[in-house]
Amino acid sequence: MKTALVMFALLLAAAASAQVQIITQSPHPQNPLALPEPAGPPAATAPIGLSTWQDQKALPGDSQYRPEPGQAGKDVIWLPTPDELVQAMLKSANVGPADILVDLGSGDGRIAIAAARDFGALARGVEYNGDLVALANRNARRAGVSDRATFVQGDIFQTSFADATVVTMYLLPTLNLRLRPQLLQMRPGTRIVSNSFTLGEWIPEKTINAGGATAYLWVVPANVGGRWAFEIGGHRFAQKLEQQFQIVNAAPGQRIQGGRLDGPLLELQMADGTVLSGEVRGDQIHGHGWNAYRIKATN
């Protein structure tokens, strides 16, 4: 009887030991509701969402700094532009190898990097946050375009981008309006693309929808405001042209009724229905069979 009791006690002890062993092997013995630690950064903060980068080895600094959507910046919070919209913006602006693209508030660098990698442009980003600048330069190295996409720390209102042929931005409407006078002084034909926000009463040439987001495209018009001397065939006359961005207006009853600019290219509508097409070159307009010379610029 005593032997049987001893054997029974040994069996109970063995079962208890096995149960303790199973519980000890549980991944969260202290808190069974705790989620496992993520193996890496959450997907929402992966750089740019471009799959070709995600499987590559992280560069020094990635573990110390990863941007969070919505984090505060100097003038705006940081929100990444969807990759589909990035591609649509660059396609709509006809970005190519001959272009210099400057991204104002470049964040993690996705727009400038895509311009260099997918469209062959020479690209530059201006970003106030030094950590984002470092991340963008690492992302450019990861994408293999660090020779064509570079990033500098700076204030967009104090950093020159006069050499750009394409300007991209994701800023607030008030900041867009602050930049507008500078944008209008850029070389005619420069393309401006803004994510989400417009440039006030300057009507965009195109609205871009992709990736559940919207962007707008403008083309910097030449300046044709003022009084011009026209030579059309054997006829000469002077007329004043008024301009509101890309729209050209004239006083009623004049030979030229109005027109429209596409960068330096100008189309004028004559009172008799004739359309004059030409190219603005400073204070001269050259067309097929006609020319015009500015007598006085608008103050």
- For the chain, give the percent of residues with pLDDT over 90: 72
Report the alpha-carbon distance of residue 299 to residue 296 in Å, rounded.
Answer: 9
What is the band of 296 on the pLDDT scale with cuts at 50, 70, 90? very high
**pLDDT at residue 104 tops 50:** yes
Rounded to 10 degrees, what is the CA torsion of 125, 130, 135, 139?
20
Residue whose pair of structure tokens reads 């970005």 in the numeric block: 95
Q: What would the two tokens of residue 39 be? A: 């193996």
What are the two backbone dihedrals, phi and then psi, of residue 102, each rounded to the nearest 5 degrees?
-120, 125
Report the alpha-carbon distance of residue 267 to residue 119 in Å, rounded.
Answer: 30
Report long-range pairs for 58-65 (Cβ below 8 Å, ≥24 apart). 59/138, 59/141, 59/142, 60/138, 61/134, 61/135, 61/138, 62/135, 62/138, 65/131, 65/134, 65/135
**pLDDT recorded at residue 31:** 32
Mean pLDDT (whole number) for 277-295: 97
- CA distances from residue 263 to 71, 149, 232, 268, 284 in whole angstroms, order as listed: 37, 26, 22, 14, 15
Count, residues in the chain: 299
**pLDDT at residue 54 tops 60:** no
β-strands 191-195, 206-210: how paired? unpaired
Residue whose pair of structure tokens reads 């919505």 in the numeric block: 70
**pLDDT recorded at residue 56:** 54
Q: What would the two tokens of residue 293 be? A: 């010379």
Cβ atoms of 113 and 145 closer than 8 Å? yes
What sign results for the dihedral spanned by CA atoms 14, 16, 17, 23? positive
**pLDDT recorded at residue 44:** 38
**pLDDT recorded at residue 101:** 98
Mean pLDDT (whole number) for 133-140: 95
What is the band of 79 on the pLDDT scale with cuts at 50, 70, 90? confident
Sheet with 166-169: list strands edge to edge. Answer: 149-153, 122-127, 100-104, 166-169, 191-195, 213-219, 206-210
**pLDDT recorded at residue 228:** 98
From 95, 141, 139, 136, select the one nearest 115 (Cα to Cα). 95
Mean pLDDT (whole number) for 110-128: 98
Higher pLDDT, 79 or 202: 202
Mean pLDDT (whole number) for 248-252: 94
**pLDDT recorded at residue 58:** 64
**pLDDT recorded at residue 50:** 45
From 298, 113, 104, 108, select the one nearest 199 (Cα to Cα). 104
Mean pLDDT (whole number) for 58-76: 76
